[in-house]
Structure 1
Amino acid sequence: MSHSDNNTLPSGRISLASADIALGALDGRYKSATVPLVDYLSEAALNRDRVHVEIEWFIYLCNNEVLPGLKPLTDEQQAGLRAIVTDFNEDSIKELAEIEAVTVHDVKAVEYYIGNRLEGLGLAHLKPLVHFGCTSEDINNLSYALGIKDAVTNVWLPAARALVEQIMKLAEEAREVPMLSRTHGQPATPSTLGKELAVFAYRLNRQIKHIENTEFLGKINGATGTYSAHMVSVPGADWQKVSEEFVTGLGLDWNPLTTQIENHDWQAELYSSIAHFNQVLHNLCTDVWSYISIRFFRQIPVAGATGSSTMPHKVNPIRFENAEANLEISNSLLNTLGATLIQSRWQRDLTDSSSQRNIGVAFGHSVLAISNVIKGLERLDIAADVIAEDLDQNWEVLAEAIQMVMRAEAIAGVEGMENPYERLKELTRGHRVDAARLKEFVAELGLSQDAEKRLSELTPHTYIGLAPQLLGYATERYAK
């Protein structure tokens, strides 16, 4: 007896294939974070959108009397046709699957699915009008565009905006918190923690604006984009006008010049912007992870949660680590999609068809990462005491300020300001310099009274320039 006959595997373990168990993490472990995408980017959602496009095409052709013999549909007939879309449910999915098992063609199955319902609406005589003048890609490209647009508008963008809002909330809390900067990993001119977080908000907002301005292109122009069948069957119609009106009527942007497929350039552009957003977010994750590592942030424990299986003192930054991994997976898919979808052999091949089935997975990993970062940021407490101590141990960062004041004094004609960089280099490089030594050095320079006063009052905590004021540029208004 084979293992399939007794529901066991070759190892003797019981097979789990018959159980309702997801193969991937997005539909299993992380389903709660990604389930909103199912309504727009799943196979079932694609089929529902195919039905929607076919129905709207049918209605448009009738109401505009594009073909001889057609007349406008009644309100009742239009409502009945659109109910085929609004009533699309699990039974519809099953019925479509049964039809496709016979047709071995997903779009043809949609055509038959709709045709089977026309008699009940008194429209059986118009069954030939379903899918009139269309190639499968006329339906598919519009359906994908609608699903992707809805996913971006209703799921991804709200998540991205909520993330930026959370970053800015933490940035505002840290607006006045001076922080030692590190360039090349070394102590550098202080900033504020708020300003450093605001940099990420500004960068992410710029990508959000690009994504908000996406053109979602669509076409309906036949087997090779020439309207050939349209012109032969109904030569009197203005098919380009019909195409443009129909596509824009769906809420999409019209692409007037294509092969059999809509050439997916807009998708590549969109995925590039989302991948860019993801990569900036990845940068935020690694920076926050590092700040946690040097204890600039304390993680607020979750009641009952285990940080480590063996080290009870630990609270691991798992939200940010999880996000890093998911952003990398999302970008791998987005970059592959962007590169693959804009390539097609001559007028058509099927590589795009297989590739586009992974759009939901790419979005899913991005949405999951965003969710994790939001939750991670919510559990951070600013360790102002640790940040202050770090500044107190690095007075040498004022060397930049001193030598720049010396340069300004020299330009103003003050004597004794020669070689400022070299003198500060000799004073500070390779060893620590405390507050007393710096103040002594400043007092010996012979600066003007005003300049000496400014430097004598300067500390690593106050050497932050305009950092607190710069947060304003992180708002959406300025993210251009």
Structure 2
Amino acid sequence: MTVSPFDHPIQSGLLGDETAAKHFSFEAELAAMLAFESALAEAQAENGVIGRDTAKAIIAAIAGFQPDIARLREATARDGMLVPELVRQLRKAVGDPHGEKVHFGATSQDVIDTSLVLRLKSLVAGLDARLAKLDRQFGALGEKFGGNTLMGVTRMQPALPIRAADRIAVWQAPLRRHRDRLTHLSEDLFTVQFGGAVGTLEALGDKALPVRKSLAERLGLGDKPQWHSQRDTLADFTGWLSLVTGSLGKFGQDVTLMALDGRTIKLAGGGGSSAMPHKQNPVQAETLVTLARFNAVQLSGMHQSLVHELERSGSAWTLEWLLLPQMAVATAAALRTAIDLATGIEKFGETSLAGKA
């Protein structure tokens, strides 16, 4: 059973994206969490917090670790997260005398947030590649149809003739700005989360900052102070997701309107109707509008998750888990759909408006 069209066995063909969804699978989450624990052991051994033999025992146990999923599920319902039970199982797998040093100085949020950032880093690379691909496809449309003419429309009323290139430019320009925004955003987004129980790394004493620096380097992340209750960068990221889908929704809305008369634009492979076989519905264009509106609505929830109580909030943090993955998958699906839609434009505008009313 599923409660989301993003992973529905049928509806996901329209609204989902398997490539993006894999970054939010339990397998990907667990792998990133274990990478954190291995890197933490290495960083602590490097800085003399734990012995090298202890680090080797932890890393070896993690390499062959298979969690008890049923117990993780049961414990998560009790603890509100899976990390306490995961750490318990890891310590048992490592065994005496080294097991007690697993996760030393860290807290559950360090593991979960860093796991998220590691997976977002891979996800974002894919989104950026799709933005670049769509940019190139719009460029190809401009080369093919840019000199054609069509009627400019303002406030849903015919205005003055424009070139197809003018409308394409309006679709294309935001993509480049989004890529620029992503470059700047990534500097803050892809940073390690490591603060310990209350954000002060109190268990590590004067070794705290060297360990955090080494941990970040081993994970390929930036080294910055903990951000347990500071969620503005994640809110910025989801704002970026909504900006991307909003721009793609504008593209979809324009195509939907142009398809009304069947003359301004022609699309390959429109959707069929069960009642009217002659119709070719602009399904891909409509989907872009839907995904844009979906992300715009979810963004308000991500802004609600900024409100953390004191050093950590359980409720605000959990809200992110509900919203961010769906927004990311919606954005990936929108980019994929937009590429397909742009590729399938067979006619755009007219070579001349002479004789047209």
Deviation at 1:34, TM superposition (A): 1.5
SS in 1 for 2:310: coil
Structural mapping, 1:5-154, within 5 Å? 21-28=1-8, 29-31=10-12, 33-67=16-50, 70-71=51-52, 80-81=60-61, 83-84=63-64, 92=66, 95-102=68-75, 104-105=78-79, 106-119=82-95, 124-153=96-125
**For 2:11 and 2:224, how far apart are their aligned partners in 1?**
37
Q: Which one-letter code corresponds to 1:296 in the other structure?
A: T
Q: What is residue 277 of structure 1 aligned with on the other side? A: 244
1:334 aligns with 2:334: no
CA RMSD of aligned residues (A): 2.6
Q: What is residue 320 of structure 2 aligned with on the other side? A: 356
CA spacing shift, 1:54–1:100, aligned 2, 3 Å: farther
CA contact (8 A) 2:58 2:99 kept: no
Deviation at 1:189, TM superposition (A): 4.1
1:226 aligns with 2:209: no
Q: Which one-letter code corresponds to 1:350 in the other structure?
A: G
Q: Which one-letter code corresponds to 2:252 in the other structure?
A: C
Q: What is residue 245 of structure 1 aligned with on the other side? A: 214
Q: What is residue 178 of structure 2 aligned with on the other side? A: 207
CA contact (8 A) 2:305 2:319 kept: yes
Deviation at 1:264, TM superposition (A): 1.8
CA contact (8 A) 2:57 2:94 kept: no
TM-score, L = length of structure 2: 0.86
Deviation at 1:53, TM superposition (A): 0.8
**Larger CA Rg, structure 1 vs 2:** 1
CA spacing shift, 1:383–1:193, aligned 2, 3 Å: closer
CA contact (8 A) 1:289 1:317 kept: yes
Aligned residues: percent identity? 19
**For 2:275 and 2:314, how far apart are their aligned partners in 1?**
51
CA spacing shift, 1:355–1:96, aligned 2, 3 Å: same
Deviation at 1:373, TM superposition (A): 2.4
133-142 or 246-255, which deviates more: 246-255
**For 1:262 and 1:246, how far apart are their aligned partners in 2?**
20
Aligned length: 346
**For 2:34 and 2:41, how far apart are their aligned partners in 1?**
11
Give 2:161's match in structure 1, choosing from 185, 190, 213. 190
CA contact (8 A) 1:211 1:274 kept: no
Q: What is residue 266 of structure 2 aligned with on the other side? A: 298
**Which protein, 1 or 2, shows the higher relative CO under an 8 Å CA cutoff with sep ≥ 6?**
2
CA spacing shift, 1:37–1:185, aligned 2, 3 Å: closer
**For 1:36 and 1:190, how far apart are their aligned partners in 2?**
41
Give 2:347's match in structure 1, choosing from 343, 361, 382. 382
Give 2:286's match in structure 1, choosing from 314, 321, 327. 321
CA spacing shift, 1:341–1:248, aligned 2, 3 Å: farther
Q: Which one-letter code corresponds to 1:246 in the other structure?
A: L
Q: Which one-letter code corresponds to 1:23 in the other structure?
A: V
Where does structure 1 lack aligned partners over 5 or more consecutive residues?
Answer: 1-20, 232-236, 395-480
Where does structure 2 lack aligned partners over 5 or more consecutive residues?
Answer: none
CA spacing shift, 1:77–1:171, aligned 2, 3 Å: farther
TM-score, L = length of structure 1: 0.66
SS in 2 for 1:144: helix
Deviation at 1:344, TM superposition (A): 0.7
**For 1:388 and 1:61, how far apart are their aligned partners in 2?**
71
CA contact (8 A) 1:278 1:366 kept: yes
